[in-house]
Amino acid sequence: MKKGYHLKSLILVLIYFFVAGFLVMILWNWLLPSIGGLRVINFWEACGLILLTNFLFNKTFLRKLIFRKKCDSDKWSLLCDDNKEKLNEMWEKRCQELEQAKNK
């Protein structure tokens, strides 16, 4: 794993959290008091809403950023030699097609 990966991820999560919290607060305070008669919320309540929706729906950017799937190198070793050759040939063919398309 690259050096500083965890620090960069933490910084990205914090940036996302604060920007999204601010945007949720602004949108909530702009729309919902006039439409639904709801009260105005502050920044921390908006951040709490983001966390709540993240836990309920599990499809936000925050979850994808934290629980990003790692490349599984063991899958290649599970393939038989014939399938490895077929995959290599397929990728070589695709690369050649891309090169030909670039040269046109």
Q: Are residues 21 and 49 in the same domain?
A: yes
Closest CA to 62 of 71, 70, 53: 53
Q: Are residues 80 and 30 in the same domain?
A: no
Q: Are residues 2 and 53 in the same domain?
A: yes
Q: Are residues 38 and 57 in the same domain?
A: yes
pTM of the model: 0.49
Q: Are residues 96 and 45 in the same domain?
A: no
pLDDT value, residue 69: 56
User: Would you call 71 helix, strand, or coil by DSSP?
Assistant: coil
Q: Are residues 39 and 58 in the same domain?
A: yes
Q: Are residues 87 and 54 in the same domain?
A: no
* Mean pLDDT of successive 10-residue stretches along the chain, which has 104 residues: 74 88 90 86 88 71 58 64 82 85 79
Give the domain range for residue 57.
Answer: 1-70
Please count the structural domains in the chain: 2
